[in-house]
Amino acid sequence: MKLDAKIPQGPLAEKWSKHKFNLKLVNPSNKRKYTVIVVGTGLAGASAAASLAELGYNVKAFCFQDSPRRAHSIAAQGGINGAKNYQNDGDSVYRLFYDTIKGGDYRAREGNVYRLAEVSVNIIDQCVAQGVPFAREYGGLLDNRSFGGSQVSRTFYARGQTGQQLLLGAYSALNRQINLGKVKMFTRHEMMDVVTIDGEAKGIVTRDLISGAIETHSAHAVLLCTGGYGNVFYLSTNAMGCNVTAAWKAHKRGAYFANPCFTQIHPTCIPVTGDHQSKLTLMSESLRNDGRVWAPKTKELAEKLRKGEIKVTDLKEDDRDYFLERKYPAFGNLVPRDVASRNAKEMVDDGRGVGASGIAVYLDFAESISRLGEDAVRAKYGNLFDMYQQITDENPYKQPMRIYPAVHYTMGGLWVDYNLQTTVKGLYCLGEANFSDHGANRLGASALMQGLADGYFVIPYTLGDYLATIGPKAVDADHPAFEETKKSVVDRINKLLALKGNKTVSEYHRELGHIMWEYCGMARTEEGLIKAKGLICELREDFWKNAIVTGVNEEFNQNLENAGRVADFLELGELMVDDALDRKESCGGHFRLESQTPEGEALRDDDQYAYAAAWEYKGDNQPETLHKEELVFENVKLTQRSYK
């Protein structure tokens, strides 16, 4: 199949307006004849379900949590970008577009990114209208702060709980539609597969997580808004439930998976403390507005710190290396995440890491506390400081935080065209689950923006075009495809429940995560990736022989849930490695040690790799086929990214 991204022709700033005009419409009285399935109720899913129901479509919404408002979006701390230019500091739609394309190391589509920047201003208005309590300045105007990779303040925030407040807004809109009967909400339901008829998505198969009932649901179109797959690394800042199953099943039904190896490693997380951990905690990027990142100037000092022979507060200014400010004076502590993460790793590799493990650097607020006062710092970041203290038992008002990079976000995901449609007709993908807008590295505060752009402002237009084309004729819910797909779901559950080995599913997950982090994490080499591929294949084989899955299907069985998700991660992991192997260049979060500038920055190879890699599933244990979507840059010049 030839990939057609369907990017509209014409000037960048007119593409979306023209496209909207050219899309077919469904008239208001016909909308009620269509049913749309929305899987996921995070920011992408809740905003899409509410908006489509508001338009008049019947929506069936699904999530695996006990309430839509517990989607992982609730964890987002720092903020959401919007090119409002309230600060009058030089921001514009074009600048947000440019920063995002550059931040993504020129591996995203111009057309998509411009549209994202364009609708960012509407998102802020929409959320304010819903009552989202964004922080305000003394005069009452909405406040902004800065995030990495930009030199303007365009990030709107609600203390350190922006995701939660935005989700409450979307959730209220969703609840309104549930109350009106336009959305039927299925909580505690896990999507297990997509049903396709003649190559078009016509429904899903779900498992009721309380009773174990396997159900089929039909619809005119299916939207996957199922979040990212960072938990393939086992340890990440993602919620424990985040998984790839929905996207992976769609992949096996024909949806191409794009840039799977593009993972974001966030520079400021609380460091790992030992093997007991199953989760890592983010310290929001917003902290880098006022916190300064440093490591001791010498290995000797670092060693004394590690041994407890000196205290961090004993170190004089001259003993500290504010390495980001030193190396990148133009952006300082607010360089993009990939750059900040690599530099922290460099410090640790150089023997200058701190903390008992030596795998951390400092994030220090002493200067801002003395400049602004402790109360001002508390007002901005209080809940993050409290969280840090509760986890580490150290007071960040008195001594610097210890931080280290951790897996945080996945830029890869299901390939979608400009309409957010996957390579399966009628199957759409929104939010973190798709690959569309962030290239090889997402800028901070842009995930919330993208999820809400997709849900509130893109899909309500683009879905109508498809629905108008297929017409409102009811979907044949008795079509054999539903029973066949259901049977394959039941067979797989039985296969998992038959596993009576001696190793827990979590042990496999932890081992997979270790392989992924070691060989397909912050730095990758051809040799390491080849090794990882072999290790993952062995681990997967072993899983299907020696894992133990307890309990039965007809009960609340988290062991079974987890087994299904880890089995999918074991397949995805191999594809991530294949993708990383194919891309011999470094770009953004994909850092191949073989491809770096003399200063150790990511060295792209635009002649060979200016494409989005879209992988086609070819059957169990078969190599996937790579399709390349060439990226066309008509408005920005591809240059070596510099934040100096």
Return the range that interacts with ligand FAD (CB under 6 A); candidates 21-29, 236-244, 383-391, 459-467.
236-244
Question: Is residue 308 exposed (0-12), middle (13-18) or buried (19+ Cβ within 10 Å)?
Answer: exposed
Which residue among 16, 34, 57, 64 contacts ligand FAD (CB under 6 A)?
Answer: 64
281 or 419: CB nearest ligand FAD: 281
CA 202 to chain CA centroid, Å, is 26
Nearer to ligand FAD, 432 or 601 (CB): 432
Select the span of 42-50, 94-102, 121-129, 493-501 touching ligand FAD (CB under 6 A).
Answer: 42-50
196 binds ligand FAD (CB under 6 A): no
Total residues in contact with ligand FAD, by rule CB under 6 A: 47
Our finding on whether 448 is near ligand FAD (CB under 6 A) is yes
Assess 149 for contact with ligand FAD (CB under 6 A): no
Asked if 411 and 446 touch (Cβ cutoff 8 Å), the reply is: no
| Contact with ligand FAD (CB under 6 A) among 72, 288, 337, 604 | 72
Of 52 and 532, the one with the shorter C-beta distance to ligand FAD is 52
Q: Sign of dihedral through CA atoms 449, 201, 185, 555?
A: negative
Q: Which is nearer to ligand FAD, 76 or 567 (CB)?
A: 76
In this chain, which of 282, 493, 570, 587 binds ligand FAD, going by CB under 6 A?
Answer: 282
In the complex with ligand FAD, the residue whose CB is nearer, 226 or 586, is: 226
**What are the distances in angstroms from CA 639 to CA 92, 263, 602, 642?**
21, 22, 12, 8
Which CB atom, from 43 or from 344, has the smaller least distance to ligand FAD?
43
Give the count of alpha carbons within 13 A of 363, CB side only. Answer: 32
* Token duo for residue 1: 């199949």
Q: Is 73 in the site for ligand FAD (CB under 6 A)?
A: yes
Select from 110, 432, 568, 574 the one that contacts ligand FAD (CB under 6 A). 432
Compute the distance between CA of residue 422 and CA of residue 256 in angstroms, rounded to an integer.
7
Marked catalytic residue, from 337, 352, 565, 583: 337
Helical pair 505-520 and 558-582, crossing angle rounded to 10 deg: 20
Cα distance between residue 587 and residue 596, in whole Å: 9
Residue 481 carries which side chain, given as an amino acid letter? A
The DSSP-derived string for 516-564 is HHHHHSSSB-HHHHHHHHHHHHHHHHHHHHHEE--S-SSS--HHHHHHH
How many separate helices (H) and strands (E) can be counted in the chain? 19, 21
Q: How far is the CB of 472 from ligand FAD (least distance, A)?
A: 26
Which of residues 51, 161, 218, 237 is near ligand FAD by CB under 6 A? 237
By C-beta, is 81 or 595 nearer to ligand FAD?
Answer: 81
- Measured from the CB atom, is 228 or 412 closer to ligand FAD? 228
564: contact with ligand FAD by CB under 6 A:
no
When CB distances to ligand FAD are compared, the closest residue is 42
Q: Does 528 bind ligand FAD (CB under 6 A)?
A: no
35-39 and 58-62 beta bridge pairing: parallel
Looking at the Cβ atoms of 272 and 468, the one nearer to ligand FAD is 272
Span near ligand FAD by CB under 6 A; candidates 91-99, 333-341, 430-438, 598-606: 430-438
Say how many residues make up the chain.
644
337 is catalytic: yes
* 458 secondary structure, DSSP code: I
Segment near ligand FAD (CB under 6 A); pick from 52-60, 72-80, 121-129, 530-538: 72-80
Select the span of 2-10, 71-79, 388-396, 476-484 touching ligand FAD (CB under 6 A): 71-79
Counting contacts by CB under 6 A, is residue 76 touching ligand FAD? yes
| 36, 39, 44, 50: CA torsion to nearest 10 | 40
To the nearest whole angstrom, how small is the minimum distance from the Cβ of residue 408 to ligand FAD?
6
Quote the crossing angle between the two packed helices 558-582 and 526-546, to the nearest 10°: 160
- Residue 182: CB minimum distance to ligand FAD, A: 19
Per CB under 6 A, 164 contacts ligand FAD: no
Q: Structure tokens of 29?
A: 């009285």
Q: What is the distance between the alpha carbons of residues 340 and 333, in angstroms, rounded to a whole number?
A: 8
* Smallest separation, CB 409 to ligand FAD (Å): 6
- Residue number with CB closer to ligand FAD (298 or 488): 488
- 3-class SS letters over 160-217: CCHHHHHHHHHHHHHHHHHHCCCEEEECCEEEEEEEEECCEEEEEEEEECCCCCEEEE
Are residues 201 and 218 in contact, defined by beta-carbon separation less than 8 angstroms?
Answer: no
* C-beta closer to ligand FAD: residue 243 or 595: 243
CA distance 188 to 211: 10
User: Which residues sit opposite 183 in a β-bridge?
Assistant: 59
Q: Give min distance, CB of 352 to ligand FAD, in A.
A: 27
Among 245, 289, 485, 557, binds ligand FAD (CB under 6 A): 245
- By CB atoms closer than 10 A (0-12, 13-18, 19+), residue 358 is middle
Is 77 near ligand FAD (CB under 6 A)? yes
Furthest CA-CA distance within the chain: 76
Q: Does 80 bind ligand FAD (CB under 6 A)?
A: yes
The site string for ligand FAD over 370-409 (x = CB under 6 A, - otherwise) reads: --------------------------------------xx
Task: Give the end-to-end CA distance of the chain in Å, rounded to a whole number.
Answer: 42
Residue 538 CB partners (closer than 8 Å, separation 6+): none
**CB-based contact 22:8 (threshold 8 Å):** yes
> Which residue in the set 49, 53, 96, 191 belongs to the binding site for ligand FAD (CB under 6 A)?
191
Which string of x and - marks every residue 213-232 that binds ligand FAD (by CB under 6 A)?
A: ------------xxxx----
Taking CB under 6 A as the rule, does residue 45 contact ligand FAD?
Answer: yes
Point out which span in 41-49, 464-472, 478-486, 613-621 binds ligand FAD (CB under 6 A).
Answer: 41-49
Footprint of ligand FAD on this chain (CB under 6 A)?
A: 39-45, 62-65, 71-73, 75-80, 162-163, 189-191, 225-228, 237-238, 242-243, 245-246, 282, 284, 408-409, 431-433, 445-448, 451
- As annotated, the active-site residues are 337
